[in-house]
Amino acid sequence: MKAEFSNEQAGGETKSFLSFKLDNENFTIPVMKIMEILEVPKITKVPQAPNFLVGVINLRGAVLPVIDTRVKFSMSPIEYTINTCILVLSIEVNDEVIEVGALVDSVSEVFELNEARILPSPTIATKYRADYIKGMIQEDDHFLMVLDIDKVFSSNDLESISEYKEEKLDETQD
């Protein structure tokens, strides 16, 4: 089926996606980008760093920086529960592949998805930065944001996120 939508991907490849929650919002990213999922270990904070940088952890002998994804999305900082976990992501920044840990409130599920089904995100009054979001998926009556993880965690992005609008989308979802 040829894509009728203005997606980056041509055709309809089926890939695995993982969805996770930040506060009450659902987000999803391709499983390919996820190296592993960890329970939250001791995080060592590096002083005088921006809020979204929580600190560093020991991942089998390597030092991994950990980012509070909620702060990146202008939400309040993460509150640790038993469901809180770290997604170890492999992202591409400036032609370099680096690993970073992303703190999320919980992970939901892994599912197969034909990429052609990713709908373009609404351009009107987006809650989050447009380039963070690749598109949206409608699954039953949920709406899932498909993230462009490389953009979300681009290290050049040290600007405060608070300047982005916080208008709530009119969504008919739970």
Partner 1 sequence: MDEMKETYIQEANELLENLESSLLSLESNPNDGSNIEQVFRVMHTLKGNSSMFGLTKIAEFVHDLETIYDKIRQNEMQLSKPILDTTLLALDHLNKIIIDSELEEEDNQLNHTNLIAQIHTFIGKSGSVEKKEDSSVETEQDVEGPITYHVMFAPDASIFLDGTNPLILVSELTGLGKNIVIPHFKAQSIEEFNPLDCITFWDVFIETDKSIDDIKDVFVFVEDSSTIVINELKYTNLVSNKEFGEYVSSYMFKEKSIDVNEINELADKVGESSVKESSKAVEVTPVKAQTEAKVTTKKEAKEKVLSSIRVSSDKLDELMNLVSELVTTQASLTLFSQKNESPELEVISENIEKLSRRLRDIAFGMTLVPINNMFSRFQRLVRDVSNSLGKEVQFVTEGGETELDKSIIETLTDPLMHIIRNSLDHGLELPETREEQNKPRKGTVKLKAFYSGISVYIQIIDDGKGIDAEIIRNKAIAKGFVSPEQELSDKEIFDFIFYPGFSTAEVVTDISGRGVGMDVVKRNITDLKGSIVVESAVGVGTTLTIKLPLSLSIIDGLLVEIAKVNYIIPLSVVNKCYEVSNSEMKGNFNKLLVLDDKQIPFINIRREFGYKQQPDEEKSQIIVVSDADRKVGISVDHIVGEYQAVVKPIGKYYKNQDFISGATILGDGSIALVMDSHKIIDLYTEHSKLETK
Tell whether residue 84 is a contact of partner 1 (CB under 8 A). no
Q: Is 7 or 155 the residue whose CB approaches partner 1 more closely?
A: 155
Question: Which listed residue (65, 102, 144, 149) binds partner 1 by CB under 8 A?
Answer: 65
H helix runs in 2-56, sequence order: none
Q: Considering only 58-66, 80-88, 104-112, 133-141, which stretch makes contact with partner 1 by CB under 8 A?
A: 58-66
* Residues 71/93, Cβ–Cβ less than 8 Å: no
Q: Is 63 or 124 the residue whose CB approaches partner 1 more closely?
A: 63
Tell whether residue 161 is a contact of partner 1 (CB under 8 A). no
Tell whether residue 92 is a contact of partner 1 (CB under 8 A). no
Q: Considering only 39-47, 111-119, 132-140, 164-172, which stretch makes contact with partner 1 by CB under 8 A?
A: 39-47
By the 10 Å C-beta count (0-12 exposed, 13-18 middle, 19+ buried), 150 is classed as middle
Question: Which listed residue (42, 112, 163, 168) binds partner 1 by CB under 8 A?
Answer: 42
Nearest-angstrom CA–CA distance, 64 and 48? 18
Nearest-angstrom CA–CA distance, 173 and 26? 11
Nearest-angstrom CA–CA distance, 78 and 53? 12
Question: Which listed residue (35, 98, 119, 169) binds partner 1 by CB under 8 A?
Answer: 98
Question: Which listed residue (2, 39, 62, 174) binds partner 1 by CB under 8 A?
Answer: 62
Identity (one letter) of the amino acid at 113?
Answer: L
Tell whether residue 57 is a contact of partner 1 (CB under 8 A). yes
Buried b (16+ CB within 10 A) or exposed e, 66-101: bbbbbbbbbbeebeeeeeebbbbbebeeeeeeeebb
Tell whether residue 155 is a contact of partner 1 (CB under 8 A). yes
